[in-house]
Amino acid sequence: MARHDLPGSLTLAALAERCGATLDGDGSVRISHVAALGSAQAGAIAFLANPKYASQLGSTRASAVILSPADAPHTTLPKLVSADPYLTYARVAMLLHPAPVPATGVHPSAVLDPTAMLGAGVAIGAHTTVAAGATIADGVSIGPGCAIGPDVRIGARSRLDARVVVYGRCTIGEDALVYAGAVIGADGFGLAADGDRWLRVPQIGRVVIGDRVEIGANTTIDRGAIDDTVIEDDVKLDNQIQIAHNCFIGAGTAIAACVGIAGSTRIGRRCRIGGAANISGHLSIPDGTTLGGATTVLSSIDEPGAYSGAWPVQPYADWRRTAARLRRIDALADRVAALERELRRRDNEG
């Protein structure tokens, strides 16, 4: 289905030029791959972005390193110097480890409705189905076992890995990357109480996904109940995220794994949300907000900033004592209020 077009190796000087970093040392050193400081061998380039690993700089066997101007004097190895070593590492890694280039064509076992429209250079994997009226733009790659629903639109050069499901009428923009097992456009959890039973409410909206969006493995994005669920350009979603119906995720937002977002939540642009955060429905989070891992959000946030609601880890015995005290917090608050009233009474009498 795919072939790996690896460049072999590049000189450190070529990497510096293509990544916008400053070369310090022998630019003729050839680099074939990236590696961690502690495990790197000859031919590798490593990076130092976290001071926790600074002690490994002196013993690394890498042929070159990427680091900040402040750390550059601490090694005699050839180096790329950058104000943002991690960003430079990412650029270098993309050059040395490019994504597989999909082989074009439709696998014989794939099932395509005659009304589906395929652009040039499309790749369709084994046992994939493409329903009526779907439009697959130029250069799209769809892996094995995918199900593309009726009237779906997938933009140019987007890639869907194995077993991705895209329900009817949903759209995916250009240059998107959807990892295995993701489900886009399943019904939201729309139910109306009917006595002792539940009546399912038809979910008639879509999921609309912008350009350059990445969606992690087994992440689910529900279609809108009436209006659309919208994921704007450049959003990055990790694995196993649940986004409920009618949510809006602003451009450039990054969300880590296992986050749950309830329905009709509006998240602004350039937000960062840590893993396992829980966000209740019908609320808004402003542009530029950061939520720490495991944070629970139960009401709208008015001002951008960094927020966290996680309880830091404690030894079990300490946690039990703290939890027991918290269970008595209401009684303690009542006692404090009574003492305050008594003090005010005494002040008035005095």
Residue with tokens 């720490």: 292
Residue with tokens 């993309």: 94
Two tokens, residue 309: 């609601």
Kindly give, in sequence order, each residue whose CB lies less than 8 Å from that of residue 328, ignoring residues fewer than 6 positions away: none
Within 10 Å of residue 189's Cβ, how many Cβ atoms?
A: 16
Two tokens, residue 29: 């050193």
Closest CA relative to residue 221, chosen from 237, 197, 204, 199: 237
Two tokens, residue 208: 């609309």
Strand partners, 3: 101
User: How far apart, in whole angstroms, are the C-alpha atoms of residue 146 and residue 20?
Assistant: 39
- Compute the residue count for the chain: 350
Q: What is the DSSP letter of 2?
A: E
Of 4, 97, 127, 245, catalytic: 245
- Tell me whether residue 245 is one of the annotated catalytic residues: yes
Residue 221: half-sphere exposure toward Cβ, Cα within 13 Å:
31
User: How far apart, in whole angstroms, are the C-alpha atoms of residue 176 and residue 211?
Assistant: 6
Please report, to the nearest 10 degrees, the dihedral formed by the alpha carbons of residues 225, 228, 231, 232 taken in order.
Answer: -160
Catalytic residues: 245
